[in-house]
Amino acid sequence: MQPTMNTIKTTLKKGTVLIAAMGLSTIINLTHAQDAAPDMQKLQQMMNKQISLMKPELQEKVKALSPQTKKLLLGIYGAHSRHSDKVTLRQVMHEAQSDYQSMLVGVLTDNQEQAADSARRLANHRIPIGGLLPYLDIKFINDQGLSALAGFNDAVEGNALRLADAADQGDMIKASSLVGTITNGCFSCHAMFRGVPGKSQLLR
């Protein structure tokens, strides 16, 4: 699936058909990831800690999330072994970008080991201080907005893990074909949750 900027905009307006479709497979994947997660109690504690760091207006939105959305977030957090108490989402993105580029070099130079290791690092990127939610516009902190987040996450991380497996097996044709779907996941998430970085308030 390769949505263009226009289809994304239309989809977002029309009520996120595309994103819902992407989200469904993720819910299933994350549910599996969660089943495999060793310690639900530990995850719950971690999420409570994140909530305690949030300002009251965000706390309120997080507490209003459905159990299903909370489960989804726990699934995302549970799939990551690195949780930082310092770095921001922007810093996480800078590091993810480096891993993405290293993965790409591995694919382009037929270096299966570099491609696989970098893709796994990308999939297991750090979770920033406070989790993902404090860095998103508060208008997205509701069940519908966050279901989209899950779909993008799988587009990047699920496919990065698939790319790593393909590279392990020496199937660099398959690995290279997954680069596009990963890139599409980065792009789509940015189109919804980020917009253009560094826009100036001093331009008309």
Q: Using CB under 6 A as the criterion, which residues of the chain lie in contact with ligand HEC when the complex forms?
A: 89-90, 93, 96-97, 100, 122, 135-136, 149, 152-153, 156, 182, 185-186, 189-190, 193-194, 197
55: exposed, middle or buried (Cβ count in 10 Å: 0-12, 13-18, 19+): exposed
Q: Nearest distance from residue 153's CB to ligand HEC, in Å?
A: 5
d(C-alpha 69, C-alpha 92), whole Å: 23
Q: Nearest distance from residue 41's CB to ligand HEC, in Å?
A: 26
Q: Nearest distance from residue 98's CB to ligand HEC, in Å?
A: 9
Q: From 18, 202, 190, select the one nearest 90 (Cα to Cα).
A: 190
Among residues 41 and 117, whose Cβ is nearest to ligand HEC? 117
Q: Nearest distance from residue 160's CB to ligand HEC, in Å?
A: 7
Judge whether 65 and 142 are in contact, CB under 8 Å.
Answer: yes
d(C-alpha 2, C-alpha 53), whole Å: 37
Among residues 102 and 111, whose Cβ is nearest to ligand HEC? 102
